[in-house]
Amino acid sequence: MALRPIVDLDSGAVLAIEAVYPAEEQHGEDVATLAERLGRTAREVMARENLLPLVLPVPARLLTAGREPFAFVEDTLRRSGRRPRDVTFMLDPEIRQLPREHLVRGLAHLRELGFRYAFGTARVPPDLLVETAPFLFRIDGTLTSGLPDNERFAAIVDGMTRIGRGAGTFPLASGVTSVTQLVSLRQAGVRLAQGPFFAGEDWAPGDRVTPLPDLTLDPASSDTAGGPRVSEFMVPAVTMTCDATAEEVLEAFSNDSALNSVILLDHRERPVAALDRARFLLSITGPYGHALYAKRPAQRLADPPKTVPRTVPALTALRIAGVDRERVYDDLIAVNEFGQCMGVVHVSDIIRGLSQA
């Protein structure tokens, strides 16, 4: 079984590792055999890579077996010190043949166990992508190979990427072999890729991948007048889950007098709300505030998160901060290509940094 790197097209870093079966082992005999192989695959891959998130191949037919095969993998993960959300199950293209009710029910089982799941093809009905909201979907190598010259393929990539973005799903381009393909993918909004361009057949975890070329792949990011990037001002965020209580947030603010904000995250570690220190304390320490809110979800006192991509110029982030005049100095939340919280940025730090520059 080969391991392949999944590369972030913003930074050139390896974000995850995907396990790939040899071609002759793509099709299992029956559900029991498939379940046994999935458990064996999980153990083997975790023995070879114990840090980065993993993408494991799963025949779509295995979804018809219920929770048992995946519950076994969950137990294996936890015994190894890994969490279910560290693993994404990549369902093969046979999902197109699986009855929708079986597919939806099987995906619900994965979600209940805490796993992420992905579609191994972009050739699925758009409404299915929106309804099930997989974590990733694969842009097939046959589509990637036609970029940028094949207009039909380019339209599919662009269209499915837009639909995926609306559903909170991220496209993964496979089979990348050239810089021109990278340019086309970046222009379509794709931020994750893999293929021979990055690594050969003998690649192993810990090995280097081919660096991204020095040229700017995304013309929209070539704003040299923007100066330093937001990532240069990023500091760790204090985060909690969506169901955190106001009392828990109050304790966080009480324990750190320099803390400006607390960020509430969903199960995918994406920001869904932000609690500004001044406004939160004003609400909960006012008359009857503690009695009204302490035991209730803190999200009731939260504001929508102000997010910025971690790669944008700081000057652009400053403009974003100024859109809402009542929240100009709220912390900005820097997110990665998955929309996940990477840290916060204090607006005052940006102003100070730009003035010194």
- Cα–Cα distance measured from residue 306 to residue 325, given in angstroms and rounded to the nearest whole number: 13
Pick the more confident residue, 204 or 28: 204
Angle formed by the axes of helices 179-188 and 151-167, nearest 10°: 50
218 versus 100: the higher-pLDDT residue is 100
pLDDT value of residue 220: 43
Q: Is the pTM above the cut of 0.85?
A: no
pLDDT at 23: 60
Instruction: State the Cα–Cα distance between residues 76 and 57, nearest whole angstrom.
Output: 16
Kindly indicate the confidence band of residue 175, based on its pLDDT and cuts at 50, 70 and 90: very high
Checking if the pLDDT of 219 tops 50, the result is no
Assign residue 351 a region (left: φ > 0; alpha: ψ between -120 and 50; beta: otherwise).
alpha
Partners of 6 in the β-ladder = 16
Query: What radius of gyration do the chain's Cα atoms show?
Result: 22
Terminal-to-terminal C-alpha distance of the chain: 50
Across the range 329-349, mean pLDDT stands at 89
Q: What is the pLDDT of residues 235-247, one digit of tens each?
A: 999 999 999 999 9
Q: Which residues contact 288 (CB under 8 A, 6 or more apart)?
A: none
**Where residue 194 falls among pLDDT bands split at 50, 70, 90?**
very high
Tell me how long the chain is. 357
pLDDT at 222 over 80: no
Q: What is the pLDDT of residues 306-337, one digit of tens each?
A: 998 888 888 888 888 887 778 889 999 998 86
Q: Tell how strand 261-265 and strand 271-276 pair up.
A: antiparallel
